[in-house]
């Protein structure tokens, strides 16, 4: 059966969606944190996304985008993006003014200051947001498979439950959990590798 | 000594500086010269605008209007000729001492091995050898301050701007720092602009002490303690002229405290 391939396909999608969420979310969050105008323009969208009851939105999304991949990707994004974006923008905005001023005093360019001061300073909170966002994204992925089209792991769970094939059902559930844990672990390692020592508190305060 | 202002080579000249924060008038028509190679202290009541003036000279803060020359060039913004030592250190908490000290050089585009070698030298000069791999939160306030000082020294700017650099240290360390600063001022051919709250400290280390009035701030008096500059660090505090000047400055300032 193509079930295995289908499943693998679906999860590859979930994971690439997660990566899109991650980079896009940080990018948008950075822009919101840096620019008041962009903040005014864009952050309400994410506040709405965060508060919207997703289960109620799914029928609407299906009506607009059909039962294909698009709807699922959107569901994952709605789950994952707000927390990533809002955490990033908050962290960026809370970079201590004194180290930014220091960057200017030592002739840092705008890019220097973003890459060498603001991002490392914000990274602990950005990564905390990523962890939450990625977990939420997994919830969104499963939800979309259960509610939109019966494919992938969601389908395996519903189907095996309906025919009382409990071993398969448990295996499917376990595999999701394992995958999510691995993903979060990789994230934690990446954080450690990129920003060693940034978990330290602000010594200058 | 040379009293004719026009003959003195000034590293920084400040004229007609006005600065308002909204309704608050911080600086009004401020005029002050900073002779090259000398140490000038800014002394004045709290909130009179010393930090404001220092940041304007550093190019970090725009004045409402100003005529400032740095090396006879009009001030346009931060420049490689000035380095700032921040009152609150402004260290990067995720970077160790070596990377913090080298950070200014990194922003100037100096290659890694070179900037670390330079940083290493200045870490030694401020007495922090052995702490290169420590993070700021593992250091005492005085040590953090020295990291900030080493960072400013390592970019080799002609003008050093120090904002109350010794406020975070205990009295013993402070005295040690004052002697070090005196030493530094004598050995490095740099212009120091030094903000302090301590009258004794200002008189002890300065070639020139500028007294600022309470807000809106202007320079009310410039005092040049010259008689004991050549003396060694230990005997300055017993010098009659030193004591005289301290008393005189206190007499000027106490009117604002009362
Ligand atoms: N960002 C700001 N916004 C509004 N007012 C400010 C700001 N920064 C400083 N001021 C005001 O300007 C005045 C001068 O401030 P400044 O920090 O330069 O004083 P200072 O002489 O360095 O004081 P201190 O000796 O206490 O450090 C103060 O009265 C302060 O209230
Ligand atoms: Mg101040």
Range in A16-30, A173-187, B82-96 the model is least confident about: A16-30
Report the candidate in A187, A83, A56, A75 with the shortest Cα–Cα distance to residue A138.
A75
Measured from the Cα of B19, ligand 1's closest atom is 12
B102 Cβ under 8 Å from any chain A Cβ: no
Residue B217 gets which letter from DSSP? B
The answer to whether residues A179 and A163 touch, using CB atoms and an 8 Å cutoff, is no
Instruction: Check if A205 contacts B (Cβ < 8 Å).
Output: yes
Q: In this structure, are residues B69 and B144 in contact, taking their beta carbons and an 8 Å threshold?
A: no
| Helix extents (H) in chain B | 50-58, 97-107, 112-125, 141-154, 171-187, 199-205, 233-236, 240-257
Chain A residues with CB-CB distance to B60 below 8 A? 101, 104-105
**Helices A54-65 and A119-147, interaxial angle, to 10°?**
70
Residue B144 pLDDT exceeds 80:
yes
Q: Counting one residue from A and one from B, how many pairs have CB atoms under 8 Å apart?
A: 83
Q: Write down the pLDDT at residue B7.
A: 59
Choose, out of A110, A115, A200, A204, the residue to mutate when testing the contact with B (most B CBs < 10 Å): A204
pLDDT of residue B226: 82
Q: Give the distance (Å) from ligand 2 centre to CA of residue B44.
A: 10
Residue A10 has pLDDT above 80, yes or no: no
Which of A59-73, B4-18, B128-142 reaches the highest mean pLDDT?
A: B128-142
- Residues 180 through 199 of chain A touching chain B, CB cutoff 8 Å: 195-198
What 3-state class would DSSP assign to B90?
Answer: coil
pLDDT at position A205, please?
Answer: 37
* Contact call for B103 and A106, based on CB within 8 A: yes
Give the one of B58, B91, B151 whose C-beta lies nearest to A203's C-beta. Answer: B91
Instruction: Give the predicted TM-score (pTM) of the model.
Output: 0.83
Q: Given pLDDT bands bounded at 50, 70 and 90, which one contains residue A200?
A: very low
Of A135 and B97, more confident:
B97
d(CA A128, CA A25) in angstroms, rounded, equals 13
pLDDT of residue B214: 80
Q: Give the pLDDT confidence score for residue A92 in this predicted structure.
A: 93
A70 inside 8 A of chain B by CB: no
Top residue of B85, B88, B92, B164 to mutate, by most chain A CBs within 10 Å, is: B92
Q: Does A4 score more than 60 pLDDT?
A: no
Above 0.85 for ipTM, yes or no?
yes
pLDDT score recorded for residue B191: 93
Probe ligand 1: pick from B47, B166, B198, max atoms within 8 Å of CB? B47
Question: Could you read off the pLDDT of B114-138 as tens digits, one per residue?
Answer: 999 999 999 998 889 999 999 999 9
| Share above pLDDT 90 across residues of chain B, in percent, rounded to a whole number | 46
| Chain segment B152-187, per-residue pLDDT in tens | 999 999 999 999 988 877 888 888 888 888 888 888
Domain annotation for chain A: domains and CATH numbers: 3-200 (1.10.3720.10)
Give yes or no for a cis peptide into B216 (omega within 30° of 0): yes
Dist. CA B151–CA B133, nearest whole Å: 15
- Render pLDDT for B178-235 as a digit per residue (tens, 0 to 9): 888 888 888 888 999 999 988 999 999 999 999 987 877 888 889 888 877 777 777 8
Distance CA B82, CA B156 (A): 9
| Contact between A112 and B90 using a beta-carbon 8 Å cutoff | no
Q: Give the distance (Å) from ligand 2 centre to CA of residue B167.
A: 10
Mean pLDDT, chain B, whole residue set: 88
What is the distance in angstroms between the Cα of A110 and the nearest Cα belonging to chain B?
Answer: 11
The model's confidence at residue B55, banded by pLDDT at 50, 70 and 90, is: very high
Dist. CA B161 → ligand 2 center (Å): 12
- Model confidence at A9, pLDDT cuts 50, 70, 90, reads low
- Cβ < 6 Å from ligand 1: which residues? B 21, 24, 26, 46-52, 197, 215
Answer yes or no: are the C-beta atoms of A198 and B93 closer than 8 Å.
yes
Q: Which DSSP symbol is given to A114?
A: I
Query: What pLDDT, on the 0 to 100 scale, is given for residue B78?
Result: 92
The alpha-carbon gap from B122 to the nearest alpha carbon of chain A, in Å, equals 17
* Cβ pair A105:B84 closer than 8 A: yes
Q: Tell whether B31 is within 8 A of chain A (Cβ).
A: no
- Taking only the tens place, the pLDDT of each residue in A96-112 is 999 999 999 999 999 99
In Å, how far is B81's CA from the nearest CA of chain A? 10
**What average pLDDT does range A86-94 have in this prediction?**
92
For B141-163, b/e burial (b = at least 16 CB within 10 A) is ebbbbbbbbbbbbbbbbbbbbbb
Q: Kindly report the average pLDDT of chain A as a whole number.
A: 82
Place B6 in a pLDDT band, splitting at 50, 70 and 90: low
């Amino acid at each position: 059966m193509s079930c295995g391939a289908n499943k693998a396909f679906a999860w590859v999608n979930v994971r690439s969606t997660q990566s899109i969420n991650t980079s896009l979310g940080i990018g948008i969050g950075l822009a919101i944190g840096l620019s008041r105008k962009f903040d005014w323009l864009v952050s309400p969208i994410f506040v709405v996304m965060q508060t919207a009851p997703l289960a109620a939105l799914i029928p609407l999304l299906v009506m607009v985008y059909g039962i294909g991949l698009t709807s699922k990707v959107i569901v994952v994004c709605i789950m994952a993006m707000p927390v990533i974006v809002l955490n990033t923008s908050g962290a960026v905005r809370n970079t201590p003014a004194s180290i930014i001023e220091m960057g200017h005093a030592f002739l840092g360019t705008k890019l220097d200051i973003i890459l060498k001061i603001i991002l490392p300073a914000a990274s602990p909170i950005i990564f905390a947001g990523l962890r939450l966002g990625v977990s939420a994204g997994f919830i969104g992925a499963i939800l979309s498979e259960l509610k939109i089209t019966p494919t992938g792991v969601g389908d395996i769970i519903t189907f095996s439950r309906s025919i009382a094939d409990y071993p398969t059902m448990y295996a499917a559930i376990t595999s999701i959990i394992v995958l999510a844990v691995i993903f979060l672990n990789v994230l934690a390692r990446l954080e450690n590798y990129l920003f060693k020592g940034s978990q330290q508190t602000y010594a200058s305060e | 000594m040379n009293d004719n202002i026009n003959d003195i080579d000034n590293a920084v000249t400040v004229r007609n500086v006005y600065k308002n924060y909204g309704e608050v008038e911080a600086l009004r028509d401020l005029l002050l010269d900073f002779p090259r190679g000398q140490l000038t202290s800014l002394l004045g009541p709290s909130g009179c605008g010393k930090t404001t003036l220092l940041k304007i000279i550093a190019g970090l803060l725009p004045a409402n209007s100003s005529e400032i020359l740095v090396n006879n060039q009009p001030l346009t913004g931060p420049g490689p000729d000035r380095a700032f030592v921040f009152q609150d250190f402004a260290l990067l908490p995720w970077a160790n001492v070596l990377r913090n000290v080298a950070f200014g050089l990194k922003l100037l585009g100096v290659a890694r091995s070179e900037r670390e070698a330079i940083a290493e030298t200045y870490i030694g000069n401020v007495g922090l050898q052995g702490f290169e791999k420590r993070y700021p939160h593992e250091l005492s306030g005085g040590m953090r301050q020295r990291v900030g000082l080493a960072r400013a020294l390592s970019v080799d700017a002609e003008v050093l701007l120090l904002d109350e650099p010794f406020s975070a240290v205990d009295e013993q360390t402070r005295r040690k720092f004052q002697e070090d600063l005196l030493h530094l001022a004598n050995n490095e051919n740099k212009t120091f602009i030094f903000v302090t709250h301590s009258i004794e400290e200002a008189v002890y280390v300065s070639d020139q002490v500028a007294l600022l009035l309470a807000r809106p701030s202007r320079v009310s008096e410039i005092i040049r303690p010259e008689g004991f500059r050549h003396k060694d660090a230990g005997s300055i505090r017993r010098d009659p002229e030193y004591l005289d000047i301290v008393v005189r400055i206190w007499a000027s300032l106490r009117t604002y405290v009362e």
